[in-house]
């Protein structure tokens, strides 16, 4: 129910019940992400304030302990993956460590079905 007084309209719910957090602006998030990755690749992060998800990414990078060249290569691949996720509206982006783990493992290899009579023991007469 909306209460109107002149030109003003009030919602009867208290301010505590209304979330002040807007849905994330995907374009802004993509711009901030790309800027952070660019700064990391250049070797100098010039900002002093970060969004919580940026702090998580920085901590994740630190925990992965990659050499600079491998980190830069992985960051570029990670940037492409996250950009595609944000374009599709998928949140939150995959964590860097999860991305690295998935890349290391590669696709799950399924062994071919065994054919009776062709096991390694039967191939040696």
For 1, 21, 23, 37, 77, the CA distances from 13, given in Å and listed in that order, are 9, 16, 20, 42, 46
Among residues 76, 124, 125, the alpha carbon closest in space to that of 100 is found at: 76
Counting beta carbons within 10 angstroms of the beta carbon of residue 64, is it exposed (0 to 12), middle (13 to 18) or buried (19 or more)?
Answer: middle
Q: Is 0.75 surpassed by the pTM of this model?
A: no
Q: What is the pLDDT of residues 36-47, one digit of tens each?
A: 999 999 999 988
State the average pLDDT over residues 18-45: 84
pLDDT, position 7: 52
User: Most confidently modeled of 10-14, 18-22, 27-31?
Assistant: 27-31
DSSP symbol at 16? G
């Amino acid at each position: 129910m909306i209460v109107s007084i002149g030109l003003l309209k009030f919602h009867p719910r208290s301010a505590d019940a209304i979330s002040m957090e807007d849905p994330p602006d995907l374009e802004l998030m993509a711009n901030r992400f790309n800027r952070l990755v660019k700064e990391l690749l250049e070797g100098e992060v010039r900002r002093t304030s970060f969004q919580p998800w940026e702090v998580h990414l920085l901590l994740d990078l630190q925990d992965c302990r990659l050499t600079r060249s491998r980190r830069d290569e992985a960051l570029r691949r990670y940037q492409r993956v996250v950009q595609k996720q944000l374009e599709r509206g998928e949140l939150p982006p995959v964590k860097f460590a999860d991305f690295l783990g998935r890349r290391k493992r590669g696709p799950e290899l399924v062994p071919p079905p065994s054919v009776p009579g062709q096991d390694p023991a039967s191939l040696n007469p």
